[in-house]
């Protein structure tokens, strides 16, 4: 069976240490290289070259049950030969949504970026893990350079940052930072003995604020939603009223989350006015600029985020 022969790994001379085989069976390097070449050719022909062709379909749509029958999704005990894997690659491309298509109008997409695509090819091929300089010297320096430039755009004289899976996790990290600043003992003592912590955010904020409060044990009932104007911007006077009310009730305000680019209306909260309130009451100011942060790179539109340099933390999704 030719298929079976293609799947049989070639074997090197075994390297034994205390009777344990360290190198084990390995795949045929020549066959692997040939497969990569053929797969890259397929990607080039079926994805990259067709990305700007309006005559191509955005998606060859199939209902879920029908698509399951068309695709081979069975998890078998043995592998597949290279020619079969290429067939699977072709099917994946054929039935996937072509997000690079000129007629694909879903939110947050901007067509094919040829140059970042090559960068993604490189990172996948090199398979770096950016946690120490020893295992990823180049990409660690790249990460530092990108964060430094983002910090400059925000307007901070100094700062630090990390890349997260998305805006939701970034907002949760910020909430955790704000809580730690308010009560550093929480790291050792936990939630016991803490006062009722309260945070404030826009009524138009992202749902991740409630989710973060739930995950961190603050509680969704302790997320106070501040009213907005007709364009979806947080009303500073309403914020201050709620802060005073929370203090009268014996709660402990610790965080205000402003939004630069709300999900529905794309509203930008008045950051300077909100920062003034935070300074008066000693509150951590976080700006969720996941959606609108990239306006900082626009000479014309960066004014929408005027005052962001006064924030203690910022979430920014560069892909948006």
pLDDT tens-digit readout, 272-305: 999 999 999 999 999 999 999 999 999 999 999 9
Of 3-7, 115-119, 131-135, 202-206, the poorest mean pLDDT is in 3-7
The per-residue pLDDT for range 176-229, each reduced to its tens digit, is 999 999 999 999 999 888 899 999 999 999 999 999 999 999 999 999 999 999
Asked if residue 298 lies in contact with residue 274, where contact means CB atoms within 8 angstroms, the answer is no
From the list 180, 219, 171, 173, the residue with the least C-alpha distance to 196 is 219
Between CA 302 and CA 307 the distance in angstroms is 10
Top mean pLDDT of 14-23, 191-200, 232-241 is at 232-241
pLDDT the model gives residue 1: 57
Where are the extended beta strands (E) located within the chain?
16-17, 20-21, 197-202, 223-226, 252-259, 284-289, 313-316
7: Cβ–Cβ under 8 A, 6 or more apart, which residues? 78, 79, 80, 81
Residue 6: pLDDT over 80: no
pLDDT of residue 216: 97
């Amino acid at each position: 069976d030719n298929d079976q022969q293609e799947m049989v790994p070639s074997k090197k001379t075994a390297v034994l240490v205390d009777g344990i085989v360290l190198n084990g069976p390995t795949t045929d390097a020549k066959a692997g290289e040939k497969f990569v070449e053929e797969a890259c050719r397929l990607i080039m022909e079926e994805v990259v070259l067709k990305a700007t062709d309006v005559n191509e379909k955005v998606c060859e749509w199939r209902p879920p049950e029908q698509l399951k029958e068309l695709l081979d999704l069975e998890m078998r005990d043995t592998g597949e030969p290279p020619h079969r894997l290429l067939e699977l690659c072709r099917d994946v491309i054929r039935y996937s949504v072509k997000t690079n298509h000129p007629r694909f109008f879903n939110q947050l997409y901007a067509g094919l970026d040829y140059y970042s695509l090559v960068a993604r090819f490189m990172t996948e091929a090199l398979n770096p893990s950016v946690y120490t300089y020893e295992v990823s010297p180049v990409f660690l320096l790249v990460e530092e350079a990108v964060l430094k430039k983002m910090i400059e755009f925000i307007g901070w004289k100094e700062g630090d940052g990390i890349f997260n899976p998305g805006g939701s996790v970034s907002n949760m990290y910020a909430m955790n930072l704000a809580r730690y600043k308010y009560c550093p003992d929480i790291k050792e003592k936990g939630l016991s003995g803490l006062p009722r912590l309260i945070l404030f955010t826009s009524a138009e904020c992202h749902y991740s604020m409630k989710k973060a409060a739930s995950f961190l044990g603050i509680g969704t009932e302790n997320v106070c939603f501040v009213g907005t104007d007709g364009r979806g911007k947080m009303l500073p006077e309403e914020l201050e009223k709620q802060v005073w009310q929370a203090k009268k009730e014996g709660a402990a305000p610790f965080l205000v989350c402003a939004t630069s680019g709300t999900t529905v209306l794309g509203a930008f909260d008045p950051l300077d006015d909100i920062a003034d309130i935070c300074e008066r009451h000693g509150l951590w100011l976080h700006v969720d600029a996941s959606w609108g942060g990239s306006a900082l790179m626009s000479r014309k539109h960066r004014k929408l985020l005027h005052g962001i340099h006064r924030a203690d933390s910022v979430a920014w999704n560069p892909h948006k």
